[in-house]
Chains A and B, each alone.
Chain A
C-alpha cells in the first residue's frame, strides 16, 4: 500500500451520478462501478450519521474510501433507493411508536415498546449519557448493548416516554 500523496489525501473524490452506477450483488449486497472500475462489494457510511440527511455519504470498500456522495438527491430514484436501503441496514434504528411500559429505577430504565420493526424490550443505563437530543426535537436512545432507537418527536411522544425523558431535556 503506497502512502497517498498529500493532494490525493486531502481532496474529496465526489461521486457524481453520471460516472457512478450502483448495483445489487446476488447476495443482496451493494456493488458499484465508478469510471468503469467495478467494486464488487462496498459499504456505505454517513459522514454525519446523527444529522441523518441525504448528504455526505461515504462509499467504501473494506479497505478504503472510493468517494463521497455529496448529495444523494442528485441520483436517480432507483439508484437512490439502493443506497438508502443499504444505509438503513447499517444505521439500523427502529422508530419507537408507542410504549407499553417504561419503568425507571436507580439509574436504569426498562422499556417495553412497539417499534416500526416489531415489539422490543430493552434496557437503558443512565439516560443522560445515552440519549442524543437533536435540534428538531427528535431523540436517539442507546441501550446497554449499543442498539439505537429513534423517537421522532418528543412533543408528540407517548406520555410514558415524555414523563421519563422530560427530566433530561
Chain B
C-alpha cells in the first residue's frame, strides 16, 4: 500500500484549476498517486500541461482539456527520449500514440510516471519504495530559477554576497599573530608618512628656514629627524614585506589544500564534465586571487582608508579652501574609473578564458603525444596551438593597449588638482594668507592622496574579482558530492561479499538510460562473468557497485546493507579493481603496486607481483621495483601495466574483486598464467569479471549477458550453451575466429 506521506511530495503541487478538472472526472485528491507537470505540448511549444496517475487511469490535462487513458492490460506506457524532449507513448493494438510531451527538465519525472503506470498495468502492487526517490528537478525557492541537478545548496543568483565576503575573510583569523603584525606595521608606516610632509614642509620652511621660527637655523637637527623617519619607514616596509610573504604562503597553502581535498571527494561525474586543463587554471588563478585579496587587498584597504581619512582631516584643518581644490577632480576620477573598469574586467576575463583554453589544448596534446606522432600530425597540432596562442595574444594585447591608453588620462586628471593647488596656494602665500611651509605640506599630501583614491576605486574591481574567484572555489568546496556519504554510515570493516542489485536504473546523462531494470544476485565468494557487446553497460555496473556513481533508481545492497549507507572508506578499501584503462601514477613500480596500501612491506609487494605474474618482467628491468614509471607510462607495455594493476588489486586483499578486461592486453600464454594467479586470488572472494574473450570466464559460477543495459541471459556456461541464445552465438563466433588463428578455445 502507498501511504499519503510517501506520495505527498508528488501530489502536493496540483494547481487548483487542474484539480477541479480532475474532480469533474470524479477523481478525488487522495486517489491521485503521482502528479507531474510538463512544459511542452505535442506540437513543440512551451506551455504547462499536466499528468495525473490513479490506480485506474492516467489523466493528461492539456489546454484545459482532460483525457483519460485507462490502465488496462492491453496498453503499454513508455517514456521515449528524443535528444532534448521526451514523450510518454501509449501502445495499443500494436499502434503507438504519444500522449504527453516534455523537455529534458522533466524527463526523470515522466520516466518514473511511465514506470509506475506500467507497474499498475501489469498488476504489480505499488509500495512506498516507489515514491522514495529524488527526481532531481530543483528550483530555487526564492527566485524560481532552475537549479543544477543534486549538487547545489543555494541558487547562486540568490546567494548572499555579504556571506560570501565574510566567508573569504574567515580564512584570516587563523593567522592572528601574523595579521596583528601586518596591521601594526601598517599603522606605524601610515603614521610616519603622515608626519613626514609636516616636518619637511611646515617645520622646515616655517620654523627652521624662516627667521623668527621656533627652530630657526637648526638644519642639522631637522635633517636628522627626516633621516630617522626615512630609516624607520624603510625598516618597517622590509619587516612588513617579510611578514606578508610568510602569511601569503600560509594562506595559499590552506586554500589549495582545502580545494584539493574537496576535489578528491567529488564524484566521477564532476571530472567527466570538466576539462582538466581549465580546472587547473581555475584552481591556480582563483586561489591566487583570493590570496592576494586577503594578503594585500584587505590590509592595503585599511592602510589606504586610514591615510585618506587622516590626510583629509589634516588638510581641512590647515586650510579648508585649499583642501576643496585638492578634492575637486576626485568625482571625475571616480566616475571615469567606474565607467572604464568594467571594460577592463571584461578584457581580463577574455584573457582568462583564452588562457584556460590554451592550457586545455596543451594538456590534450601532451597526453595524446603518441597518437599525434603515430598519425604524423605534429604540424597540425602546432597550428592548432598557434591559433589558440594567437587568440590569447590578441586578448592580452587588447587588454594592454587599453591600459596604456587609459592610465595616462587618469594621471593627467589627477595633475589638474595639483595645478589648482599651486596656483591658488601660490596666490595665498604671496598675499600672506598662508605660510610657504603650509603650502609645501599641502603639496606633500597632494602627492599622497590620489594613490589611495585610485586604490579605493580599484578595490571595487578587485573585490568583484576576488568574489568571483571565491565563488568558483566555494562552488567546488561546497558541491554536494553526487555520492554523498550517509550521515550515519554503517561501519563494515569485514564485508562478506554478497552483492544484490535490485531494479537498478542508471543514466550518465539525464536523457539516456545506460542500465535498465538490472536485477542481479551475487553470493559471497562467487565469480560471475559479465559479457556483452561494447557499450552494453558492463563497466557501468561495476562503477555502480564501487559507488563511483549512485544509481538513479533501485538499490545496490552489499551483505544486505544499502550501499548508500555503508561507510565509503570501508566499502572502497575492500573492493579491488583492475580496470580497462590502466592508470599508473608517476612514481616507482613498488609505489604503484602499493598505491592503495602504502604501508605494505617489500615482501608483500613482491608476493603480489609474483601472483600477478609481474615479478619476472620487473626483475628484467635494470632498476627492478624501483623503476620509475614515466609520466605517460610509455616505458611499459600494455600487458605489463595491466599486470602491475593486478598486483595492486591483489595487495589490497579485497573481499570484492572487479576485473574489467583485466587480461585484455596480454597474449594467451600470459593470460593463462595470470588466470592461474587469479584462480588463487579469487578463492573466497566475490569476483566480477568482465571479458570479451569468453574463455576467461569458463569457471564463472554465473555468466550474465548484458545488452543495451539490460540483462538478457543469465546462468552457468552449460546452461547458456543449452539455451542457444546470444551467449552461444558469441561463443561460436569466437571459436571460429580462434580456429582460424589455430588456437583452441575451451
With A25-B96, A88-B44: A147-B82 Cβ-Cβ less than 8 Å: no
Nearest-CB residue, chain B, relative to A106: B471
A73 CB to nearest chain B CB (Å): 23
Asked if residues A117 and B46 are in contact (CB atoms below 8 Å), the reply is yes
Task: Check if B350 is an interface residue, CB within 8 A of chain A.
Answer: yes
With A143-B146, A146-B511: A107-B156 Cβ-Cβ less than 8 Å: yes
Q: How large is the interface on B (under 10, 10 to 19, 20 to 34, 35 or more residues)?
A: 35 or more
Asked if residues A167 and B353 are in contact (CB atoms below 8 Å), the reply is yes
Task: Check if A21 is an interface residue, CB within 8 A of chain B.
Answer: no
- 101-140 of chain A: CB within 8 A of chain B: 103, 105-108, 110, 115, 117-123, 125, 128-129
Inter-chain contact total with CB atoms closer than 8 Å = 114
Q: Which residues of B contact A168 (CB under 8 A)?
A: 353
Which one, A29, A40, A129, contacts B273 given CB within 8 A? Answer: A129
Q: Which residues of B contact A125 (CB under 8 A)?
A: 148
Asked if residues B44 and A89 are in contact (CB atoms below 8 Å), the reply is yes
Which one, A1, A110, A128, contacts B353 given CB within 8 A? Answer: A128
Q: How large is the interface on A (under 10, 10 to 19, 20 to 34, 35 or more residues)?
A: 35 or more
- 23-73 of chain B: CB within 8 A of chain A: 42, 44-47
Q: Which residues of A contact B511 (CB under 8 A)?
A: 146
The winner among A40, A92, A143 for most chain B CB atoms within 10 A is: A92
Asked if residues B471 and A28 are in contact (CB atoms below 8 Å), the reply is no
B530 CB to nearest chain A CB (Å): 19
With A25-B96, A167-B349: A119-B46 Cβ-Cβ less than 8 Å: yes
Asked if residues B346 and A117 are in contact (CB atoms below 8 Å), the reply is no
With A28-B97, A106-B472: A93-B46 Cβ-Cβ less than 8 Å: no
Task: Check if A18 is an interface residue, CB within 8 A of chain B.
Answer: no
Which one, A3, A26, A90, A107, contacts B471 given CB within 8 A? Answer: A107
Contacting chain A: which of B98-106, B228-236, B406-414?
B98-106
Task: Check if A77 is an interface residue, CB within 8 A of chain B.
Answer: no
Task: Check if B157 is an interface residue, CB within 8 A of chain A.
Answer: yes
Task: Check if A23 is an interface residue, CB within 8 A of chain B.
Answer: no
Nearest-CB residue, chain A, relative to B89: A27
Q: Complex: how many Å from CA A123 to CA B103?
A: 14
Which one, B47, B83, B148, B510, contacts A91 given CB within 8 A? Answer: B83
Task: Check if B669 is an interface residue, CB within 8 A of chain A.
Answer: no
Which one, B47, B89, B468, contacts A106 given CB within 8 A? Answer: B468
Q: Complex: how many Å from CA A120 to CA B39?
A: 9
Q: Complex: how many Å from CA A108 to CA B143?
A: 14
Which one, A94, A108, A166, contacts B156 given CB within 8 A? Answer: A108
With A3-B733, A88-B44, A118-B45: A106-B475 Cβ-Cβ less than 8 Å: yes
Which one, B45, B94, B726, B729, contacts A117 given CB within 8 A? Answer: B45
Task: Check if B200 is an interface residue, CB within 8 A of chain A.
Answer: no
Which one, B84, B107, B349, contacts A92 given CB within 8 A? Answer: B84
With A25-B96, A143-B146: A167-B346 Cβ-Cβ less than 8 Å: yes
Q: Complex: how many Å from CA A91 to CA B104?
A: 12
Contact residues of B with A, CB < 8 Å?
A: 42, 44-47, 82-85, 89, 94-98, 103-105, 107, 143-149, 156-157, 159, 273-275, 278, 346, 349-350, 353, 357, 468, 471-472, 475, 509-511, 726, 729, 733
Q: Which 7 A-B pairs have the closest CB atoms?
A: A118-B46, A106-B471, A27-B97, A145-B104, A145-B105, A123-B146, A92-B85
Contact residues of A with B, CB < 8 Å?
A: 1-3, 25-29, 40-41, 49, 88-94, 103, 105-108, 110, 115, 117-123, 125, 128-129, 143-148, 166-168
Q: Other than the known A3-B729, A110-B157, A123-B146, what 15 A-B pairs have Cβ atoms closer than 8 Å? A: A1-B726, A28-B98, A29-B96, A49-B83, A105-B156, A105-B157, A106-B475, A118-B46, A128-B353, A144-B146, A145-B107, A146-B84, A147-B84, A147-B105, A148-B84
